[in-house]
Chain A
Amino acid sequence: MGSLMSQPKSASMFDARILVPAIGGAFIKLNPRTMAKNPVMFVVAIVSALTTILFIKDLVTGAEGLGFSFQIILWLWFTVLFANFAEAVAEGRGKAQAESLRKTRTETQAKLLTSAEGREWKDVSGTSLKVNDVVLVEAGDIIPSDGEIIEGIASVNEAAITGESAPVIRESGGDRSAVTGGTQVLSDWIKVRITAAAGSTFIDRMIALVEGAERQKTPNEIALNILLAALTLIFVMATATIPAFASYAGGAIPIVVLVALFVTLIPTTIGALLSAIGIAGMDRLVRFNVLAMSGRAVEAAGDVDTLLLDKTGTITLGNRQATEFRPVRGVTAEQLADAAQLSSLADETPEGRSIVVLAKEKYGIRARDMTELNATFVPFTAQSRMSGVDFEGATIRKGAVDSVLKYLQSQSIAGGTGSEATIREGQAIADEIAKAGGTPLAVARDGRLLGIVHLKDIVKGGIRERFSELRKMGIRTVMITGDNPMTAAAIAAEAGVDDFLAQATPENKLQLIRDEQAKGKLVAMCGDGTNDAPALAQADVGVAMNTGTVAAREAGNMVDLDSDPTKLIEIVEIGKQLLMTRGSLTTFSIANDVAKYFAIIPAMFVTLYPGLDALNVMGLHSPQSAILSAIIFNALIIIALIPLALRGVAYKAIGAGPLLRRNLLIYGLGGLVVPFIGIKLIDMAIVALNLA
């Protein structure tokens, strides 16, 4: 992940470049129109404003106890500002990334072709391009907008979006035809049909996403906001009825004290941090070089029940490796290894190289120089499906078992020595290998079958543990592979996936997704080709590889800039973390109320019924110090929790039950206990500072 974007490590939460503007941002966000988006904090702002007006009135008329009121009001405003600050910090981190992206969006000139067939073009401004315009991009040109190559092939530097400086090949047709505006053609030329109008290109969307400008509330966020608004209403009732109750008892409660109780009771902690949590969640995904097209997609990722994972590259290393030489009767393993090695010396495929390595490791056969041997390499062709080497009258061939056998049969007609028995034996060995999930490779020398090389898919290290973690989280993994069912079953068993889809085609992939969804499951997958597009669109979470086609990118709801299919697992975890953070801080916020009640209620009513001092379980110094401590705690806890909101609650793959127990213990019980301690400490500080 050599991204231009700030790495998780470098993105310190306390970077002054983010914190300082955020302080200003906190004040700018006092704009009522901005505040209104957050019901809880908006209510706090309104009561703060009203209390301030009353205070000013009292100041003019000269009432008593103004110092205390002033402090309360000050902390009310701090509560609002701290909330705004949290949001500003979260946004600030996104803005820093947006800046670097925006630099790539410089004004470009485009060569607009007059006809798609010809090469005549006129210079136009990149921003004036419309969808379906065709432009010519030559070496050194910046691609003016997102599009699809309709002709030509070129190497493109996509560092602007992926951070990866190595050029990638883009060509017309196939699965690598998409180009992104802002990236640069390094060599050759291409004709590009524009697919995005100015202002709605990929980079524009990325900028909007990381800045949070397009941020819309997700379904879960809306639901949570409703819960918080309802809790706020409940506490409006609880506090608004107190003056009547107190009046029955023959007393009156100062407005400022009521406001203090109200603000501490309503869920300000989560209300203040809610949008920061959302922005930070998106941000974490961006740091993983994954772009989610909506917050909804991130939430859906947390809900995924079934993960469809491509075998190659995700579950296994991209390449097969030789693991064993299996000679037929009458041939020694060394002989087979020798022939296999010779035929592979010039074979630059990973499989070929792995045969050379194995021959050396197992039988000490050293690499030989082809020219010294005066050997000619016979390359692999689609027709023969074999490769090999001819030297000193000897012919060695290796390839798919059926092709080699067919070749031997043709040789035996010409007087070869491939006996029926040997061929049957070779076939048996090949079947055995296939059954074990390997790929058999037949080796023949001078028309005689020597044996079979066992090529094996190497399952990635640690992937098995990963899958068992996923299983604990209740996520089922399904391996998608083009292999035959036998091979697929063996690899699936080795990798520890729950299920597999062998001989996968776009059609049966789509069907699989539909079947899973019909069972009430949410499905995530990744894909890159145009033929993946329907499945990507059908899946609840579809991660398109950045190297993929425009169709695939449009169909998915996330794009992985690194084109690394393994990331699906991390995406799921990030989605879960986002919801967990919301839930945990909500729980913490609500649990806090118990302590706040015990701080403020006795302080409030002790003048009416002196005996109520018995409820002052924290032994707070005075009614004033108690109320002040509660409101200060309420404000400071927001600041204290900003890092947690931005970082997210630690995620552990331990299954729902233990996870809930853990979070309930930390944030539920913690939320119950922490404020008792915090309020007591603040009370002691207030007494020491003589504030009340």
Chain B
Amino acid sequence: MTQAILFVVFILAGTALLSWPLGRYMSWAMDPARGQGGANGFTAIFQAIGGSVTRRDQDWKRYVVSLLGFNLILFVVCFAILALQQVLPLNPDAKGAIDGSLNFNTTASFVANTNLQHYSGEVVMSYFSQLAALMWLQFVSAAVGLAVLTAVARGLAGRKLGNFFVDVQRATFLVLLPVAFVIAILLLLTGVPMTFNGSVVATTLEGVQQTIARGPVAAFVAIKQVGTNGGGFFGPNSTHPLENPSFWSNVVETIAIIIIPMACVWMFGRIIGRLKHAGVLFTVMLILMGARISASIGFEAVPTQAFTSLPITQDVGNLEGKELRFGASAGPLWAVVTTSTSNGSVNAMHDSLNPLTGMMPMIGMWLNEDFGGVGVGMVNMFLYIVVGVFIAGMMIGRTPEYLGWRVEAKEVKFAMLALLSHGFFILVGTAVFAVTPWGADTLNNVGPHGFSEILYEFSSAAANNGSGFEGLGDATTPWNIATGIVMLLARFIPIILPLAIVGSLSAKRRATESSGTLSVEDGTFAGMLTATVIIVGALTFFPAATLGPIAEHVMFMK
């Protein structure tokens, strides 16, 4: 247990430290207008690539229109590649076309930075599809999130929002590409393959044939983690020994999952010119995530219930669905981190986590802000800030303000709408699939755990996470279509509405802050924000959680 705690502290503290310089670099890369000048050369290049539209600043509406137009193109290109992969190059294992609802689901999933995978990569995808469609979207969809955060931060700083096409290129080329490259090299060094040769057929020592799938894994996995995408090269994701071959590859990947979301908070603080405020937000996020990590490790130290009646040693925790090379706490740590950040890669099978451990990832996806996805996590937190500031602001006897911007009807409406839509997708989706054969016929477990599988799937889609209780037979038309729609709506509603809020705020007269205004830099604010996140974000799901993981725990864990 000591080593487990040590490991968690090592990962979190190390990444938090690394996120500071990265955040500094990212604010330089994403927002060079702030007098640092160094990236101006890049800006000219990006304007040349993007064309004339990129030369002018956009208001929030234009920014949104550009963003949606861009994403439409992404969708069309990805859909086309997957549909035509059998005639495209780099297909050594001769995979056929991806068709129909699975293509829709997969394309929606990667455009929405979700990477919910209703397919197994090594089974159905050609190397070209993996790289040119999926890995490409892992770059640009994450870049979209980072662009949105930059625009939101600029707006809150009282400046023009910028230009989407320039921002998305800055995010892709200046942030994601170099970081992914560094991670890819580290992954190579820790044993991840990178080959364009097809699968190998081996004859085992016992003389059995074994087909070993492989591919350009290192490049893919690097951006999968860095861009909070999470879509695995192989079906079982980072539990796969070729996707995550060693203890140290696991360390690299865990850090890669949270590093940019953490750095996003600092970048936000730098652009709005309030690093101390960013520090408070960072702390709140770290506490919310840390609480779930601690709980997970505790719950997962309980041995596998199914083995208790058998002559099996029970001095280790639950090992079903876990890899031995990562160590005891790596599974629950990763499970929380990957769902905190809307990443969705797994290094242990979440379906086989103990019931209450399995609830922690779900809570992470319900809150969807403690660190959250690249860019969008911080933007989600901004929604909670708007609501929290509104309530707390009144308690000090003033019209609520955030950074001097008055929070009024319009802002509250948009923020609540975004938060409400999240609950809607999860609860209504789960309800529909729980009572119809669409859900009931696809379960891999019975009783409350089966319910958890449905609940988890919709939580994952709505949080743009992508992990799953993978026992669920989700490669069906109803699942493909329902989660596909949810992923797209849950991606763009919480992107459009915050931009609309910023558009509305920045049209107002900005107030100066004084000792009479709400401080966003102290412990009180941190406590208030934490409470808002928990009460507004998580309480809605209490009934569902009770009938899923909690019921399973109280009924079956002895």
Interface set of A (CB-CB < 8 Å, partner B): 219-220, 222-224, 226-227, 230-231, 233-235, 237-242, 244-249, 299, 302-303, 305, 471-476, 517, 519-522, 575-580, 582-584, 586-587, 590-591, 593-594, 597, 601-602, 604-605, 608-612, 614-615, 651, 655-657, 659-661, 663-664, 667-668
Contact = CB atoms under 8 A, between A and B. Distances in A.
Contacts of A612: 546, 550-551, 554
Contacts of B450: 248
Interface string B412-432: 110011011001100110111
Q: Specify which of B394, B448, B540 lies most central, judged by the most chain A CB atoms within 10 Å of its CB.
A: B394
Contacts of A605: 543, 546-547, 551
B435 A226 contact: no
Nearest to B417: A230
A601 B411 CA distance: 32
A244 B395 contact: no
B524 A220 contact: no
Given A237-B428, A601-B543, A220 B394 contact: yes
A237 B427 contact: yes
Contacts of B528: 660, 664, 668
A593 B535 contact: yes
B152 to A, nearest CB: 20
Contact of A227 (B387, B427, B531, B544): B387
B435 A247 contact: yes
Given A238-B427, A245-B430, A605-B546, A575 B535 contact: no
Contacts of A587: 391-392, 395
A667 B395 CA distance: 10
B517 interface: yes
Given A611-B551, A657-B519, A227 B395 contact: no
Interface stretch (B38-46, B247-255, B292-300, B506-514): B506-514
A659 B546 contact: no
Given A587-B395, A655-B515, A657-B522, 10 more contacts: A219-B408, A226-B409, A305-B514, A474-B515, A520-B512, A576-B398, A580-B396, A590-B535, A656-B519, A660-B528
Contacts of B512: 305, 519-521
A244 B516 contact: no
Name the 6 nearest CB pairs between A and B, nearest first. A474-B516, A583-B394, A576-B397, A611-B554, A474-B514, A230-B416
Nearest to B535: A590
Question: Max chain A CB contacts within 10 Å: which of B395, B440, B536, B541?
Answer: B395
B76 interface: no
Given A657-B524, A664-B524, A303 B399 contact: yes
A601 B413 contact: no
A580 B412 contact: no
Contact of B397 (A219, A594, A659, A668): A659
Nearest to A663: B395
Given A222-B409, A238-B543, A615-B546, A305 B434 contact: no
B148 interface: no
A235 B390 contact: no
A608 B551 contact: yes
Main secondary structure of the interface of A (DSSP, over half): helix
Q: Point out which of B397, B412, B420 has the most chain A C-beta atoms below 10 A from its C-beta.
A: B397
Contact of B392 (A246, A474, A609, A664): A664
B527 interface: yes
Interface in B368-391: 387, 390-391
Interface string B518-558: 11001011011001000110011111101100110011000
Contacts of B408: 219-220, 222-223
B413 A226 contact: yes
29 contacts: A220-B400, A226-B409, A227-B412, A230-B413, A230-B419, A233-B420, A234-B419, A234-B420, A234-B423, A238-B540, A238-B542, A238-B543, A241-B427, A245-B451, A248-B451, A471-B515, A474-B514, A474-B516, A475-B514, A519-B512, A520-B404, A520-B512, A580-B394, A583-B392, A583-B397, A587-B392, A587-B395, A612-B546, A659-B397
B393 interface: yes
Contacts of B487: none
B518 A223 contact: no
Interface string B433-455: 01100001000000010110000
A668 B424 contact: no
A161 B103 CA distance: 76
B362 interface: no
Contacts of B542: 238, 597, 601
B435 to A, nearest CB: 5
Contacts of A611: 551, 554-555
Interface string B465-487: 00000000000000000000000
B551 A660 contact: no
A519 B513 CA distance: 11
Contacts of B451: 245, 248-249
A663 B536 CA distance: 19
A579 B528 CA distance: 17
A389 to B, nearest CB: 54
Contact of B544 (A245, A303, A578, A591): A245
Contact of A248 (B394, B424, B434): B434
A579 B428 contact: no
B511 to A, nearest CB: 4
Contacts of A238: 423, 427, 540-543
B54 to A, nearest CB: 32
Given A474-B514, A580-B394, A520 B423 contact: no
Nearest to A243: B431
Nearest to A580: B397
A248 B519 contact: no
A520 B394 contact: no
Contact of A244 (B391, B419, B435, B554): B435
B346 interface: no
Nearest to B416: A230
Given A582-B394, A583-B393, A614 B554 contact: yes
A307 to B, nearest CB: 12
A610 B417 CA distance: 36
A345 B352 CA distance: 101
A241 to B, nearest CB: 4
Contacts of A590: 391, 535-536
B337 interface: no
A241 B431 contact: yes
Interface in B218-256: none
A521 B412 contact: no
A580 B393 CA distance: 8
A597 B519 contact: no
A390 B544 CA distance: 98
A471 B514 CA distance: 9
B264 interface: no
Contacts of A249: 448, 451, 547, 551
A233 B387 CA distance: 15
B407 interface: yes
Contacts of B509: 517, 520
Nearest to A521: B512
A580 B430 CA distance: 39
B524 A299 contact: no
Nearest to B527: A664
A303 B513 CA distance: 11
A663 B531 CA distance: 14
Contacts of B516: 305, 472-475, 655-656
Contact of B540 (A237, A299, A471, A591): A237
Contact of B396 (A233, A521, A614, A656): A656
A582 B536 CA distance: 18
B544 A299 contact: no
B163 to A, nearest CB: 27
B511 A247 contact: no
Contacts of A584: 394-395
Nearest to A614: B554
Contacts of B519: 656-657
Contacts of B419: 230, 234
